[in-house]
Structure 1
């Protein structure tokens, strides 16, 4: 497959009053043309920081990208681009959909102008051409009566409609890469399913590649081609969606899958991963997940595991994959949830 975006040795820290927070610690991944890559993990694992660094949206006042970091896109290293050069890329070649549409849209500006803005900046269209394209985009994302609603303000739309408008803004210039940062978290299940179907349909129409950030594995089962699991500022497992759900190898991935509830889950059966994510002011020695891993071995507390190859598309950073490690069966809850993921895939991500 043809790679459209390559992230190499990405390392980012934040300077705080308490000290240096090592938020991203050597992240590597590829995004292929036309695919959807889901990045999953608990809050604080580094998902949003990773993708905001691609857009170069991290605050300069307290964030630092280490010199070995590379973000390769369209023959350029984005880490070396100036602010003016990035302005030509953002919104045109790489766009982003944020979690809360009300913080993404300007409440004082009509939505037609907000959709037309990237068209005027990047496509050199006239105002009349930009308005016509904005109408097309409103129809494309399913906003009824677009001729009337193009002159309305964000507060005059429902939450699901506002998210559709944000998607229209992001897709205005047919970007090569679309980053979706938990775009359905604030929506109810019915609207969530509609937005996911819309994104899958639009992806086929404009042939874009998507990075989808979420903590909802039911959504991942519906939309993703490949999955990268993040923990403690690193990617600990990556593979196709079937490999991650039906043949997971990292104990953290086992925990995420086991902890997903459904309507059939009994309260007494609800699984939780013990402990808390690591303190990245002082990252632990060895495997960052070792303290929460009931299968941890002595080496987990001493040495960070490399990425072991499971298949051509599946890699996991766990010492359990070392040839000398004892064989450990995935927890029973992982096997139980695999049937539910089958249902999620068939029901558009409703888990």
Structure 2
């Protein structure tokens, strides 16, 4: 598959009164044309900062891209001027933010907000842009679009506002769509509708998607590959099946073990002990060592490299070293992982049928 995006050794820092916060530390990943990559992890793991850096939306100061390459169709976005980035944002790369109410301008009609990108990037006239705005509203499932195009955000429900945000993001047929927890503020029914909408639109447009979430429950149904982030680093990356059925990093075990499943309804949910490290002074070794029940001496002294599990599966844990002891997650976590994986497989089969 052809690579649309390559991120090489990306590091993003924020200068604060307390010191330099190393929010993203040497991140590497790529996105192929037409695929969906999910980036998962706890709050504060660096997911949103990573994707905002891709669009050069990190406020400077206090933030800055410290080093690294962001190659989009071979062009390094990290080296482009703000004027050059303005031609790419909304046209080639679009973003769906978490809260639609803060993403939309409450003083502007919905139609005008969708039309902005069409007029700027597609050079449409106002009448052409308005006609296209109505079509986009219909595409994302908003009823009576011809009349509602002249309404304001407060006249739409939360789910409808998020559909408007999706319409804005799709207006110029972007090659890459970044969805930053787009369903967190929505109830479960609307969440499912928005996810189904994104999958359907991807099939029609063959766009690539980076899906940011802390909820592994949505990952199995939307992603082709999964990158697990912790303390500003990617600690494991692989296909959905590899991450759900054969995870190798103890942090991934903890994330999967903390998810409820139908088979484990009577069991207590697993909780990862401790808290994430202070990224003003990151640990010398593996950032997860202090919370890892299986940590060895080397975990506190050296950061693990990315060990190859398969051609598509890599994990940064010393447990994969040839001299490491043979360790598996506790039986309770394995049961929950198996139950959750089975549910995900059933959901996937249901979608295919």
1:108 aligns with 2:92: no
Counterpart mapping for 1:2-17 below 5 A: 2-17=2-17
- Residue in 2 that maps onto 1:44: 44
Q: Give the deviation of 1:266 after TM superposition.
A: 4.5
User: Partners of 1:348 and 1:180 in 2: how far apart?
Assistant: 21
- SS of residue in 2 equivalent to 1:56: coil
- What does residue 242 of structure 1 align with? 241
Distance 1:297 1:349 in 2: 40
CA separation of 1:349 and 1:92: change in aligned 2, threshold 3 A? farther
Aligned in 2, Cα 1:22/1:80: closer, same or farther, shift over 3 Å?
A: same
Unaligned regions of 5+ residues in structure 2, if any? none
| Contact kept? 2:260, 2:336, Cα under 8 Å | no
CA contact (8 A) 2:40 2:227 kept: yes
Give the aligned partner of residue 27 of structure 1: 27
How far apart, in 1, do the equivalents of 2:17 and 2:194 lie? 40
Are the counterparts in 1 of residues 264 and 335 from structure 2 also a CA contact under 8 Å? no
CA distance in 2, matches of 1:148, 1:339: 47
CA shift, 1:269, in A, is 1.2
SS in 2 for 1:20: strand
User: Residues 127 and 76 from structure 1, CA distance in 2 versus in 1: closer, same or farther, beyond 3 angstroms?
Assistant: same
Preserved contact between residue 222 and residue 344 of structure 1 (Cα < 8 Å): yes
Q: How does 1:88-237 map to 2 (within 5 A)?
A: 88-237=87-236
Cα separation, 1, equivalents of 2:29 and 2:337 = 27
Does the 8 Å contact 1:305/1:318 carry over to 2? yes
- Cα pair 2:9 2:68 within 8 Å, conserved: yes
Secondary structure (helix, strand or coil) at the match of 1:179 reads: strand
1:64 Cα deviation after fit? 2.0
Q: Which residue of 1 aligns with 2:62?
A: 62
Superposition RMSD in Å:
1.5
Equivalent pairs counted in the alignment come to: 349
1:338 matched to 2:338 = yes
TM-score (norm 1): 0.97
Q: Give the drift of 1:343.
A: 1.9
Give the CA deviation at 1:72: 0.2
- The Cα of 1:123 is off from its aligned counterpart by 0.3
Hey, what's the Cα distance between the residues in 2 that align with 1:228 and 1:182?
A: 15
- Alignment of structure 1 residues 277-296 onto 2, 5 Å: 277-296=276-295
Pairwise CA distance, 1:341? 3.0
TM-score by length of 2: 0.96
2:302 paired residue number: 303
Q: Give unpaired runs (5+ residues) of structure 1.
A: none
Cα deviation for residue 192 of structure 1 reads 0.5
- 1: CA distance between counterparts of 2:151 and 2:349? 31
Aligned counterparts of 1:134 and 1:209: Cα–Cα separation in 2 = 22
CA–CA distance in structure 2, aligned partners of residues 274 and 158 of structure 1: 38
